A = this chain, B = another copy of it.
Amino acid sequence: MTMKPAPSPKSPYHHGGLPAALLQSARHLLEKRGIGALGLRAITRHAGVSATAAAPHFGNLTGLLSTLAATGYDELADAMEAARTHGPRTVGLAYVHFALANPGLFTLMFRSDAIDRDHGQLARASARAFSCLAALADGGRAGPPGASSRAAVMAGLWGKVHGLAVLATDGLLSPLVGTKDGPATLDALVAAALR
């Protein structure tokens, strides 16, 4: 086996880590200039390669963005699993915190017209993230008095958490912070709403 030769930045051919570099450039543009700046030409330009250099690795723009969204779902699942050790109530907070920490990526992960939900890597990663929520819903289900179906409590929990995340990242919750007798920060508002 040959040691990886620490990609020399001078050679124009065989970049060495182009896929990772493109994903990094895409994520950088996504968070710095918004989702509207996520063009194939902008990404490749930022990575210093020609406009069609992504095709051998990702096929087309949708493939690249789907792979990027997959890494987002992986990170989200990791965050939720880590939060589960701090008690089940904190995993909803972890969901919203991930969205607020990576607003562009979170938005991309739910842009069904920009990504391909059948993309292998993306399908696997999103299934893992969603199963975290399902496990949480099962755990939080009380005895038989409520008698809500598994699907209903899952939808209710996911809906509330996801809605708060979407509204918060879109800035639509900001008018509610700082109001009289209300929470002073977005985090506090979300935490209070999740009770």
- Residue ranges of A at the interface with B (Cβ–Cβ < 8 Å): 34-36, 110, 112-113, 130, 148-156, 158-167, 170-173, 176-177, 179, 181-183, 189-190, 192-195
Contact = CB atoms under 8 A, between A and B. Distances in A.
B110 A193 contact: no
A12 to B, nearest CB: 34
A176 B112 CA distance: 18
Contacts of A165: 163
B193 A156 contact: yes
Query: Chain A contact residues: over half helix, strand or loop, or mixed?
Result: helix
A148 B179 contact: no
A6 to B, nearest CB: 39
Given A152-B189, A189-B152, A166 B164 contact: no
Contacts of A182: 149-152
What is the count of identical protomers in the complex?
Answer: 2
Contact of A154 (B160, B163, B176, B181): B176
A179 B155 contact: no
Contacts of A151: 176-177, 179, 182-183, 189, 192
Contact of A170 (B112, B130, B163, B193): B112
Contacts of A177: 151
21 contacts: A35-B113, A110-B170, A130-B172, A148-B192, A149-B181, A149-B192, A150-B179, A151-B176, A151-B183, A151-B189, A152-B189, A152-B193, A152-B195, A154-B176, A155-B164, A155-B189, A159-B163, A159-B167, A159-B193, A161-B163, A163-B163
A159 B173 CA distance: 9
Given A112-B170, A182-B149, A193 B163 contact: no
Nearest to A146: B195
A158 B152 contact: no
A36 B113 contact: yes
